């Protein structure tokens, strides 16, 4: 399979794009067996690289996670996926260098505004863009404006490599979506945008990184999310739907 460029992208901060990048990348790499890399373009804080540093420090200082890492490496015969820091305007060139490795996916974690240097150019070279949305009018309006701009100025006029642009509900309050979502989904449909079937519920586990006491892991760059926590998160379902779109 040719290396696919994928970005979780939105113009609104706090929508969950960095968290989803880590969760999906880890699930694909450690559970599904794909070879993954992440280019962290969230300059200057580099959130995902910072998470990797915390993961490594915790693993080296905690016997429980140290043994867990050894068992995982032995079973999978693969190391943690590559994370590369990059300014947005240099991301595509860095991705080409990474492709010397046998990679199935390269995920790009980009800044939340297309006005940042190089963001629009980098987005135009993605194969697939997935945009998390929430039922907050400000967040939704901003994201719909963002994806409509990409759709009309890049995809429709053939000025990009984008094969798919898909929205998905994130941080859904409660186990089921309310009638309000139906209203919003009608608007999304009228705009001619694609909405994924899987939604992601609002769960505290999405904010859980490596704890110090050897508890179940959810968000990590070195380990996949714990199976029990995954069962209540729709992470597996979202990943499978993404794979069906990409393939």
Find out whether 131 and 9 touch, Cβ atoms under 8 Å. yes
pLDDT digits (tens, 9 = 90+) for 219-241: 999 999 988 888 888 999 999 99
**Residue 4 confidence (pLDDT):** 98
In a domain, 87, yes or no: yes
What is the domain count for the chain? 1
Over residues 56-79, the mean pLDDT reads: 92
What number of CA atoms fall less than 13 Å from residue 110's CA on the CB side? 34
d(CA 192, CA 187): 9
Any domain includes 16: yes
pLDDT at 135 over 90: no
Task: Tell me if 159 is assigned to some domain.
Answer: yes
**129 assigned to some structural domain:** yes
Check which CATH number belongs to the domain holding 10 and give it: 3.40.50.300
Is residue 208 assigned to a domain?
yes
Residue 43 is assigned to a structural domain of this protein: yes
* Helix, strand, coil percentages, rounded to 5, for the chain: 45, 15, 40
Q: What is the dihedral of CA 225, 231, 232, 238, to 10 degrees?
A: 80
Structural domain includes residue 247: no
Contacts by 97-101, CB closer than 8 A, 24 or more apart: 98/37, 98/39, 99/3, 101/35, 101/37
Is residue 143 assigned to a domain? yes
Please give the distance of CA 212 from its chain centroid, rounded to a whole number.
25
3-state secondary structure 153-215: HHHCCCCCCCCEEEEEECCECCCCCCHHHHHHHHHHHHCCCEECCCCCECCHHHHCCCCCCCC
**pLDDT tens-place string over residues 166-210:** 999 998 886 667 788 999 999 999 999 999 999 998 866 555 555
**Domain extent at residue 82:** 4-242
Does residue 214 register a pLDDT over 80? Answer: no
């Amino acid at each position: 399979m040719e290396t696919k460029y994928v970005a979780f992208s939105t113009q609104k901060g706090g929508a969950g794009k960095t968290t989803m990048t880590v969760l999906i990348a880890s699930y694909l790499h450690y559970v599904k067996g794909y070879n993954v890399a992440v280019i962290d373009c969230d300059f200057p804080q580099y959130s995902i690289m910072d998470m990797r540093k915390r993961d490594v420090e915790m693993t080296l200082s905690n016997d429980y996670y140290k043994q867990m890492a050894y068992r995982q490496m032995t079973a999978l015969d693969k190391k943690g996926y590559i994370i590369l820091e990059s300014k947005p305007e240099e991301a595509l060139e860095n991705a080409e260098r990474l492709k010397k490795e046998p990679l199935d996916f390269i995920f790009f974690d980009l800044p939340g505004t297309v006005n940042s240097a190089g963001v629009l150019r980098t987005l135009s070279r993605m194969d697939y863009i997935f945009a998390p949305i929430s039922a907050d009018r400000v967040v939704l309006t901003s994201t719909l404006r963002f994806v409509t701009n990409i759709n009309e100025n890049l995809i429709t006029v053939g000025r990009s490599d984008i094969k798919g642009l898909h929205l998905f509900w994130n941080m859904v309050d409660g186990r089921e979506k309310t009638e309000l979502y139906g209203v919003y989904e009608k608007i999304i449909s009228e705009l001619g945008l694609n909405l994924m079937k899987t939604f992601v519920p609002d769960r505290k586990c999405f904010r859980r990184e490596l704890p110090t006491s050897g508890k179940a892991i959810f968000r990590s760059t070195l380990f996949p999310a714990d199976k029990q926590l995954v069962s209540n998160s729709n992470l597996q379902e979202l990943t499978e739907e993404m794979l069906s779109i990409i393939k």
